[in-house]
Structure formats: C-alpha cells, structure tokens
Amino acid sequence: MHDEFVVIGRFFDSGKAHLLKTVLESHGIDAFVQGEFTGTLEPAFSLFGGGGKGGIQLLVREEDAAEARAILEDA
C-alpha cells in the first residue's frame, strides 16, 4: 500500500514549516517538510516554486489532511 501525501501549507520560511510540523506530530499526525533546501540555496525558487506562495511545503498523509488543517487553524 502506498501512502498518498498532500500539501497542507506553503511557506517562505522553513522555521515556520518545522514549527507547524512539530505541532502536528504532537497530535499524532506524521508530517514532513519538503523543498526547504531549494528555497534556502536559491530564494527565487521559494518565491516561484509555490506559485508565489512559497516553495517550502508541509505535507501529511491524505487521510490526515482534514484533521491536520483543523489543528493548524487553532495553532
């Protein structure tokens, strides 16, 4: 079985992405950050890689996405 992952947030700042990842993990939701090194090495990738929303992405399993979004709304 393959897990499908979805993007639940895009950021310019990897620190914020990692902070929210920790919040999700404290609620038992596995999450990971993608694209942080590209954004750090070349900031323009961070600007344009996410359609102007930030190229650093926070991802969770598809089945956890609704709960993760609800948790992050309260964070």
pLDDT digits (tens, 9 = 90+) for 11-45: 888 899 999 999 999 999 999 999 887 655 555 55
The set of residues, in sequence order, having a beta carbon less than 8 Å from that of 32 and lying 6+ positions away, is 5, 21, 58, 59
Query: What is the domain-level CATH number for residue 64?
Result: 3.30.70
Contact 27, 19 (CB under 8 A): no
Look-up: residue for tokens 């750090």?
A: 40
Instruction: Look at the chain and report how many structural domains it folds into.
Output: 1
Global confidence as pTM: 0.78
With cut-offs at 50, 70 and 90, classify the pLDDT of residue 75. confident
As to burial, measured by CB atoms within 10 angstroms (0-12 exposed, 13-18 middle, 19+ buried), residue 57 is: buried
Task: List the domain range (segments joined by +) for residue 12.
Answer: 5-74
